[in-house]
Amino acid sequence: MARIVKKFGGTSVATMERIAHVAGRVKASVDAGDEVVVVVSAMAGTTNQLVAWTREAGALHDAREYDAVVAAGEQITAGLMAIALQNLGVEARSWLGWQLGLHTDDVHGSARILAIDTDKLDARLAQGQVAVVAGFQGLGADARITTLGRGGSDTSAVALAAALGAVRCDIFTDVDGVYTADPRMVPHARKLSQITLEEMLELASGGAKVLQTRAVAMAMRYGVKLQVLTSFEDVPGTMLIEEKGLIEEKGVIEEKGDMEQNVINGIAYSDDEAKITLVAIDDAPGVAATLFGALADAHINVDMIVQTAASAPGKTDITFSLPRSDLARGLEVIGAIGDGITYQEILTAADVCKISVVGVAMRSQPGVAKLMFETLAEKGINIEVISTSEIKISVLIGTAYKELAVRSLHTAFGLDAECGD
């Protein structure tokens, strides 16, 4: 008997028909002897509608009430899914965050999970009952409903899998696996049969929407076996594995020819970027600490940073990227530093995007940066900021070049599927 967590995203539960279909799949797993925990998202579009209503009700609304509203979508699908399972003769009940005891901090709108009480679930699972858990929500330290941030039901599912010691966590989504690039943008994108958790983490934080970044980080921390697949078809998805596993299975992968040969396994893009440049800022100890310290204190997540030598002696230019939604606030924070830093001029751009190429093989194979920069240069694309990690290179470029950049890099790194593949 295997204990499995199955998470179904908004498109998988978008209509009553889809819910009935998913219930059928869950039943098959139960009939095969599995102990199943189902985690559901809200029906597709519901959360957006609920968010829009909270904004309409008040631009500067109370975040605790925002959570009371937006958590409602998952409550509906959890109840409907339990009914659909009961209709098929499967014993099931719905669980809300507060009923389970899924405890979070009280950072409303993006709460972090602190602990999950598993006693009640363990007992019900042992009796053969399917637990249908409302994703995305928890019980705050302030005893109020919290939500985990957009896309947060992935994190609910992984956290439950870790807490319950599940053998696997299946994430059913609207694509049938993890692709080398967004298949809607790159028609030649290929589905990967496997990818390392580390690569997935970099792709998710680079903007790939397939999994919430926090869910991947949590799977790494707790060793949760993750699989991404679709509920629409019965086809294999993508297994997320540790690099160790990848090396052990090297023979198999080489045979399949889908991973070992690629230096790059995925390309991600993020639209949600903006750039700030401080021209001719003092080149002295403590300047960067003051600037980025103030931004950090305001909870602004700075991503890429470059510092260049400027023409004037004792001066430098600092450019950095930040979420576009934080641009106005970032400028306010910098303005408020006052005499703490001096600079000649501040420049901003909101029409930039970030492109990241990711692959664990980068650790051992040189030349990735060269190929990336040459490819962009050939297309006349200017690179504004660069940042790297051991397994990722990211560039900030003009938004107008986004598709051209992603497609050209996909081809240059040999990721395009053969015609008719």
Q: Which of 3, 150, 168, 379 binds ligand ASP (CB under 6 A)?
A: 150
User: What separation in angstroms does the CA of 374 have from each of 382, 409, 411?
Assistant: 11, 10, 13
Compose the 236-255 pattern: x for residues touching ligand ASP by CB under 6 A, - for all others: --------------------
Q: Is the dihedral of CA 49, 54, 58, 59 positive or negative?
A: negative
* Contact partner, 150, from Mg ion, ligand ASP, none, Cβ < 5-8 Å per class: ligand ASP
Q: Note the residues at the interface with Mg ion (CB under 5 A).
A: 9, 151
CA distance 25 to 38: 11
Taking the complex as a whole, how short is the minimal distance between the CB of residue 153 and ligand ASP, in angstroms?
3
Q: Which residues contact 328 (CB under 8 A, 6 or more apart)?
A: none
Q: Which of 146, 153, 173, 277 binds ligand ASP (CB under 6 A)?
A: 153
* Contact partner, 42, from Mg ion, ligand ASP, none, Cβ < 5-8 Å per class: ligand ASP
Q: Which is nearer to ligand ASP, 9 or 97 (CB)?
A: 9
Do 39 and 133 form a contact (C-beta atoms < 8 A)?
yes
Taking the complex as a whole, how short is the minimal distance between the CB of residue 259 and ligand ASP, in angstroms?
28
Taking the complex as a whole, how short is the minimal distance between the CB of residue 227 and ligand ASP, in angstroms?
17
- Beta strand extents in 162-246 (DSSP E only): 168-173, 194-196, 226-230, 238-241
Compose the 1-40 pattern: x for residues touching ligand ASP by CB under 6 A, - for all others: --------xx------------------------------
Taking the complex as a whole, how short is the minimal distance between the CB of residue 397 and ligand ASP, in angstroms?
28
Q: Which is nearer to ligand ASP, 50 or 280 (CB)?
A: 50
CA distance 279 to 418: 47
* Contact partner, 136, from ligand ASP, Mg ion, none, Cβ < 5-8 Å per class: ligand ASP
* Contact partner, 10, from ligand ASP, Mg ion, none, Cβ < 5-8 Å per class: ligand ASP
CA distance 349 to 215: 31
Site for ligand ASP in 33-62 (CB under 6 A): 41-42, 47
97 binds ligand ASP (CB under 6 A): no
Taking the complex as a whole, how short is the minimal distance between the CB of residue 4 and ligand ASP, in angstroms?
19
* Contact partner, 359, from Mg ion, ligand ASP, none, Cβ < 5-8 Å per class: none
Q: Which residue lies nearest Mg ion, judged by its C-beta?
A: 151
Instruction: Match 């194979």 to its residue by tokens.
Output: 365
Do 88 and 27 form a contact (C-beta atoms < 8 A)?
yes
316 binds ligand ASP (CB under 6 A): no
73 binds ligand ASP (CB under 6 A): yes
Window of 148-156, 181-189, 220-228, 382-390 that interacts with ligand ASP by CB under 6 A: 148-156
Supply 65's token pair. 């009430």
Strand partners, 321: 275
Supply 94's token pair. 């719905």
Helices (runs of H) and strands (runs of E) counted in the chain = 15, 18
Q: Are strands 35-40 and 3-8 parallel, antiparallel or unpaired?
A: parallel
CA distance 348 to 275: 6
Q: Which is nearer to ligand ASP, 134 or 239 (CB)?
A: 134
Q: Which is nearer to Mg ion, 214 or 275 (CB)?
A: 214
Helical ranges in 223-306 per DSSP H = 243-248, 250-256, 287-297
136 binds ligand ASP (CB under 6 A): yes
Taking the complex as a whole, how short is the minimal distance between the CB of residue 150 and Mg ion, in angstroms?
8
151 binds ligand ASP (CB under 6 A): yes
Cα angle value 173/177/183 (rounded, 5°): 95
CA distance 198 to 391: 8
* H/E run at residue 99: helix 97-100
Taking the complex as a whole, how short is the minimal distance between the CB of residue 109 and ligand ASP, in angstroms?
11
Q: Which residues of 75-91 are buried (b: 16+ CB within 10 A; e: fewer)?
A: bbbbbbbbbbbeeeebe
Q: Which is nearer to ligand ASP, 155 or 316 (CB)?
A: 155
The binding site for ligand ASP (CB under 6 A) comprises 9-10, 41-42, 47, 73, 135-136, 150-154
